Structure 1
Amino acid sequence: MAAENPLGYPVEWEADVVLRDGSVAHVRPIRPDDAEGLQAFHRGQSDESIYLRFFAPLRELSDRDVFRFTHVDYDRRVALVVTRRDEIIGVGRYDAIDGTTAEVAFNISDHFQGRGIGSVLLEHLAAIAQERGIRRFVAEVLPQNHKMLTVFTEAGYDVTRHIEDGIVVVGFDISPTDRSEAVRAAREHRAEAVSMNSIVYPRSIAVVGVSRREESVGRRILANIDAGGYTGLVHVVNLEADEILGRPVHARVSDIPEEVDLAIVAVPASEVLDVVDDCAVKGVQSLLVVSAGFAETGEDGARLQRALLHRARRAGMRVVGPNSFGIINTDPELSLDATLSREVPPAGGLSLFSQSGALGIAVLASAARRNLGVAVFASAGNRVDVSGNDFMQYWVDDPRTDAVGLYLESMGNPRKFSRIARNLAATKPVIVVKSGISAFGMPPGHEARVTRSSPRAFEALLRQAGVIRVGTIHELFDVAQLVVHQPLPTGNRVAIVGNSAGLDQLSAQGCVAAGLLVTHGPVSLAPDASIEDFQAAVAAAYADPAVDSVLASFVPPLREIDEAVVDLVRDAGAETDKPCVAVFLGMRGVDGGTRVLGARESALSEPGRSLPVYSMPEDAVRALAAATRYGEWRAKDKGRPFALIGVDRDSAEKIVHRALHDRPEGATLGEEETATLLAAYGIRLWRRLTVSTADEAVAAADSIGYPVILKTTSQTVRNQNAVAGIRLDLEDAAAVRVAFASLRERLDRTASSTLVVQGMAPSGVSCVVGTTEDPLFGPVVSFAVAGAPAELLDDVGYRVPPLTDVDIEELLDSVAAAPLLQGFRGAEPVDREALADLVGRLSVLADQIPEVASLELNPVVAHAGGVEVLGAGCRLRAVGRRPDPGRRVLE
């Protein structure tokens, strides 16, 4: 469509969105060639809808009106259309009234009302308007147009309204507020969760590409669906057969008389697009594409994959895959196994997401071996559309999911992941296996931005979201079998009870290394201690008020595990809120009380507390430590979003746009521009004046006011020996002249040509506060204590905005040099509140101005009386759409 786009057409405004009913629609700027489509849309509207929009019975749009509506400047006059299968189903526009106010209006197809199209258009128009300097929307609405009035009042803005000549005039500032952001996130959550219903709970399935060959992909999936006892309708689609596995066969999905929720596509890659088009005609809600041969095979496959996504979303469908391993839902009311797996775990409370099919096999097999029950399993394959973010949206409200495990080979939108994971982790543990975020190890077929940030930025993002990060599938299940079947620890105090002094000592050492506090024991009974002795020791551990968790270990005196010991450990804590992990050599998994785990077959008993069992103390301690940290995160105050009053965002954006106007490839701001940009966010940059002679140095000192410092800005000198390039506490002109001569003599020609005069700051702790715009994460804020900690030891902390006040405090404490801020060796503690405020202001600036490629405040002197920003450097770069922009968008 690019050839049809007019000059200045903002491609970055195009977006696929999920509507309230879970279907997909496309939002894009209007074009002149939309004239015929706009007329068709208008003719399809009812008389009432036309009157509510135009305040008149305007059955036909004049050519003049159509021209005016379709020809906009994408600046002061903006219009968006929402399309389904390239037909316009909604229109929204704003027309600027003055420099900061615009009139907004909407028109939604009668056939698509009630699906949230109006709220989507308002979100997108508001975000675009802010980019264009508009700060307020007004609208004129007829009193009987309750739906449109509701769109405005329920958007989370502070809406004013009054009546003029029988018309309701509404007005509101469109700058995001906590409430509007919460409304947007809630709407996104509901829509994306609903869109997963046809994938996780399909009432009817069409399996496309079922062959008579038993080992064919489609045939194996159909066999698993039948073997699993799926309770919905199953339709078989194949062009060359009349009956397969006793089922009648349809030539096409569109030939099926009943509705189809989910089409499982298992045909050669070259035939997939035809199947997608046929499913679109039928009105299928979602596609599960298990076919391979897409982006994982090279550029031709990548083009085919993009075409698959375009056609599916054009028709309003969600897509799992391609190259997916399938979906499992163990709910007895559905019993769906639409995978290629030969092994399915029992039903339970853990939901699992894996991207690759091969790892899907390993995940399911491991869960089955451990007797760990699964609620939902999903494999996204190349995740062209549906990703772990979508499944997490669904699992937030899924009553059958108690915990979530994610194996992530790549991540397309970490900002959105963090936001959704934080919401999910507030009520359910989220365990993530991810070795790292980088260009290395990106699986074939996965499209994702490449990060330039430190791996610790990703670690910080997970910590902010309350996610439990582990390194392997083995560790994922170690943690899962604890958090699913035991209460969360309420503290880090542990009791250790066992019958082997060596094993108990190993457990205690592991606890100390993991940050757990052993407050009871280790109680090491004799190897031949009786069951009664062991029971009494475990009971005493549970009863100890100084204990939050119990670790019980048992080495059987004979080769057979004593089932009575397993039962007593499991049952001893059944009436308490304290978790227990058990180390029984030769065992691993979940014991529900029916029989002992190990080489023999096992199954869960009736619902109740089951015992997580580990073969070695290291595994048990690692899982317990992870659950303890997560419990602490769940219990702590998450803080409030850092908010600023009186920000002059307009001035900041003008500086940025002016600097990039002639240099879109990037620009470095001068010191005065940097100071003005920072001042717009309430950050004061100390003046410094460049000097080249002693007379200029004296004049600069007189202008700034004594005492002053004279220093070189040469980074080479500062890195090698900062003391050699600075003279402090210069009280008068004579001292300035002496200092200037001294530096000129000591420094080489290059360094001596970069001398500056600046006011003498109070003594304190020198810090570095910065932000970078990362292609994957968006803004990443960093903090460090300047000097050796940051430059030699890489002692730098990271957080991803938006930040809460708690996030900021944790960022300051995240570096090893943080004790210097508290007052070290008799020094006075710095003003933490002022330092946190500075970090918060910089984070808001970075979040609001994506063109700030990098901004470093260095040095920042933190002292007892506040903070002083003595130096700053800013680099700008034009950017496209940021990951997770301020409006609902499907990547």
Structure 2
Amino acid sequence: MNEKRRSLESLLKPRSVAVIGASRHDGSLGKKIFDNLLESSFKGPVFPINPNAKEIASIKAYPSIFDVPEPVELAVIAVPAEFVLEAAEQCGLKGVKSLVVISAGFAENGKEGVNRQRDLASICRHHGMRLVGPNCMGVLNTDPDVSLNATFSHVFPPRGDIAMATQSGALGLVILEYAKNLNIGLSTFASVGNRADVSSNDLMEYWRDDPDTSVIMLYLESFGNPRKFARLARSISPHKPIVAVKSGRTAQGSKAAASHTGALATVDVAVDALFAQTGIIRVDDLEQLFDVSDVLSRQPLPKGNRIAILTNGGGPGALAADACSAAGLELTHLSAETVAGLRALLPVRASLGNPIDITDVGAAEYRGALSLLAGDNNIDSVIVIFIPPVFACPEEVATVIRDLAPEFRRRGKPLIASFMGQRGCVPGTTLPAGTAGVPSFAFPEAAVHALAKALEYSRQRQKPKGTAPEFLDIDRERAKKIIDSALDGWLEPDTAFSLLQAYGIMTQEIRAAENLERAIDAAQEIGFPVALKIDSTAILHKTEAGGVSLEIGSPEELKQAYDDMMEKMRIAGLIKGIRGVYVQKMAETGTEVIAGINHDAIFGPLILFGLGGIYTELFQDSTVRITPLTDADAKEMVRSVKAYRLLEGFRGAPPADVPAIEELLLRLSALVEDVPRIKEMDLNPVRVFGEGRGYAVLDARIRLGSTERLALPK
């Protein structure tokens, strides 16, 4: 057992608990927490700490933690904020191993609270105590050998294999109530509050090796250390699913970005990228969080997307079919043997397609039909829908599902129920919790959504992890000279191209010219046809301003294009910022894409890829990943955009050099990892040529930020 996991044992599996602030007064947090510890039948001693009471709930109370005659592993502090530091110091001197500070009035409450939280964390570090909170709801463990409810929620959920961390104490109350009502079992639960010490990252690391936990649920409001989070999630998700809901999806008051990449690589896009790369299942709300976790906890992973729907009502079956289509699930063709068996079993009025509408029959027909579906090799998963009719009672059908669940599990097929109008357990019976249980939903659409997410995770586990390749032809010394000599701000285009070339990124030849005469000389040197581009400090997007002219085939055409461009600039009032023009060799035809970098304050460098050219922001056909990229990340990025169909060869067009674009993304990842001063980059357009012919960056914008310098790897 590693040291960090051992340090959390005293928090989640303590052998003794003290409640500092335990009280006799109804409604006080101290009383609720103390009562909950007793009612949950915690397996160790519980010590109430209160200088004004001799006993609480018939248990001897102690004036201070020092007076407790036995060792204390966990102390729950529920006193006003101004007394917390003293209590924490006393716990440290006593030898307490972990604290849960319920009290509010810390970093969430102004400068004084920030200072108080800093001092609390310092006390805990000094004494080697782990700290959950402050401003939290507490921790919980349903293991019968522990039976810990160190929260102020009276709800003690059923035993299960789902672990949960939440940053919101208020939501924690709802979460525990929801879990109990739906018979969804938890292993452990922690409300981390202000995260002065223990965070979701720490808990994930604990749950990674916890034999009692098979699924991890997270409610996140923010990320402390996204890179550590990503590293942990990558190591956990291939073995245990992580299901997360992240609040704050919409950007309020977002500023205008100076590049296409900056406009497209928003914070929520970065969260999606982080989750996609690490195998985390992202859901939109708490209901979906429980739905998906319940399926992952109780059912085997789907082997494929072939679905069979068994229903006793045509309408719900049609709704489920529509939901399957939207979620990428296929309503499979039943085998001839299954169809024959259903025909012999069901009345003539039954529909034997898929969905299978068995109409108004009883539990016996449900049993026979489900048995046939369990043995059909054309089916990967089954959704069974039941509307309580006159002819069959819910309890009998639920019993059938319960009885057949082990057979579906033996065959590795998820079985999910929808008892219309009833959520969770069917009245009068129990679809059993634990690994043999069958999740039950009030509406079929929710069942389909949860199953689709389970399939998403199943496919994610099958993907290769990938590696970050090392490019031996990178000229880091050349790059270092360029960066060290550059000021903050946007690089000149020829300087930007030089930096890209140092990292083996292919660019189209370009020359700067301060006047028409120099432009003609440059064009003759590189060879016609050429493109003419304005060089201006006042223009962000040259095409929109009329600052680009293409397919110039002679000096005479160049002069005409130059004069026309300058006249447009004068008319638009943009002449003042013009420093000259750039002359660039025209590239052969190909597909235009965009690649870019945006440095996010939370997530660090983000790599963007998508449809390029003038329609980049209009269609917003792009994807983002967090660096460093692996070869698997790059491959997935290129294939995840709609523009990939163009790269494949759309309607008879020749396919493009996809491997070259994947390599471009990997070289960009290496560049931004080496050069942290890069804050923004647009390579747009990047012209991708035919198979084996590579690509060329036609336009590059690179903005440098901080004064950090390139650190050459040893």
Which of the residues 480, 483, 496 maps onto 1:674? 496
Greater mean deviation of Cα atoms: 242-251 or 205-214? 242-251
The one of 9, 17, 24 aligned to 1:197: 9
Q: Which moved more, 1:831-840 or 1:856-865?
A: 856-865
Aligned length: 670
Q: 1:538-568, CA deviations, whole angstroms, 9 ceiling, x for partnerless residues?
A: 2222222221110111112139843221122
Q: Deviations over 1:557-610 (max 9, x none)?
A: 139843221122333342221001111113222x5xxxxx34x685847x5511
Distance 1:487 1:528 in 2: 30
List alignment gaps of at least 5 residues for structure 2: 254-263, 334-352
What secondary structure sits across from 1:298 in the alignment?
helix
RMSD between aligned alpha carbons?
2.7
| Corresponding residue number in structure 2 for 1:32 | none
Matched, 1:702 2:524: yes
CA distance in 2, matches of 1:263, 1:346: 24
Report the secondary structure of 2:289's partner residue.
helix
Is 1:720 matched with 2:532? no
Which whole-Å CA distance do the structure 1 matches of 2:444 and 2:207 have between them? 32
| Map of 2:220 onto structure 1 | 408
Q: CA–CA distance in 2 between the matches of 1:464 and 1:717? A: 32
* Rounded Cα–Cα distance in structure 2 between residues aligned with 1:483 and 1:432: 13
Deviations 1:519-552 (A, max 9, x none): 1442444432233332222222222222111011
Distance (whole Å) between structure 2 residues aligned to residue 653 and residue 634 of structure 1? 39
- Deviation readout 1:312-344 (Å, 9 max, x if unpaired): 223332211111111111111111111111111
User: How far off its partner does 1:631 sit?
Assistant: 0.9
Q: Is the 8 A contact 2:37 2:149 kept in 1?
A: yes
1:585 aligns with 2:420: yes
Q: Is the partner of 1:572 in helix, strand or coil? A: helix
Partner of 1:505: 318
Aligned pairs for 1:189-268 within 5 A: 190-268=2-80
What is the identity percentage for the equivalent residue pairs of Structure 1 and Structure 2?
A: 40
Partner of 1:426: helix, strand, or coil?
coil
Are 1:876 and 2:698 counterparts? Answer: no
Give 5+ residue unaligned stretches, structure 1. 1-20, 22-189, 442-450, 592-596, 661-665, 887-891
What corresponds to 2:99 in structure 1?
287
Asked if 2 retains the 8 angstrom alpha-carbon contact of 1:523 and 1:537, the reply is no
- Return the letter of the residue paired with 2:161: G
Q: Distance in 2 between matches of 1:734 and 1:528?
A: 84
TM-score normalised by structure 2 residue count:
0.88
Distance 1:716 1:391, change over 3 A: closer
CA deviation profile, 1:403-442 (whole Å, cap 9, x unmatched): 111112222222322222222211112111223357769x
Q: Check if 1:531 corresponds to 2:368.
A: no
**Aligned match of 1:154:** none
Name the counterpart of 1:491: 304
Cα 1:373–1:559 change in 2 (3 A) is farther
- 2:456 pairs with 1:629: yes
1:329–1:335: 8 Å Cα contact kept in structure 2? yes
1:654 offset after TM fit, Å? 5.0
Which piece of structure 1 moves more, 307-316 or 622-631? 307-316
**How far off its partner does 1:793 sit?**
2.3
AA aligned to 1:346 is P
Q: Which residue of 1 aligns with 2:280?
A: 467
The 3-state SS of whatever aligns with 1:275 is helix
The Cα of 1:692 is off from its aligned counterpart by 4.1
How far 1:626 moved relative to its partner? 0.9
Aligned match of 1:762: 588
Describe the shift of the 1:629–1:647 C-alpha distance in structure 2 as closer, same or farther (beyond 3 A): same
Provide the rounded CA distance (Å) in 2 between the counterparts of 1:688 and 1:537: 70
Assess, with a 3 A threshold, how the Cα gap between structure 1 residues 656 and 573 changes in structure 2: closer, same or farther: same
Q: 1:440 and 1:388 mapped to 2: Cα distance?
A: 25
Shift of 1:658: 4.2
Counterpart-to-counterpart distance in 2, 1:788 and 1:671: 18
Residues 332-377 of structure 1: per-residue CA shift (max 9 Å, x gap): 1111111111111111111111122211110000000001111001
SS of residue in 2 equivalent to 1:557: coil
Determine helix, strand or coil for the equivalent of 1:622: helix
Q: 1:826 to 1:439 in 2, by over 3 A?
A: closer
Decide whether the 8 Å contact of 1:375 with 1:401 is kept in 2.
Answer: yes
**Partner SS, residue 720 of structure 1:** coil
Give the distance between the partners of 1:728 and 1:615, measured in 2 at CA: 63
Q: Secondary structure at the match of 1:807?
A: helix
**Amino acid aligned to 1:813:** R
Aligned equivalents of 2:708, 2:159: Cα separation in 1: 45
C-alpha distance in structure 2 between counterparts of 1:259 and 1:410, whole Å: 36
The SS at the match of 2:187 is strand
Contact 1:500/1:524 (CA < 8 Å) preserved in 2? no
Check 1:570–1:644 CA distance in 2 against 1; reply closer, same or farther (3 A cut). farther
State whether residues 523 and 583 of structure 2, in contact with CA within 8 Å, keep that contact through their aligned partners in structure 1.
yes
Shift of residue 785 of structure 1?
A: 1.5
Give the aligned partner of residue 648 of structure 2. 822
Bigger CA drift: 218-227 or 293-302?
293-302
Q: Match of 2:330?
A: 517
Aligned residue for 2:666? 840
1:643 aligned residue: 470
SS of corresponding position for 2:108: helix
Conserved 8 A contact 1:527-1:557: no
Distance 1:250 1:740 in 2: 89
TM-score (norm: length of structure 1): 0.71
Q: 1:848 to 1:671 in 2, by over 3 A?
A: same
Q: Cα distance, 1:761 vs. partner?
A: 1.4
Q: Cα offset for 1:514?
A: 1.1
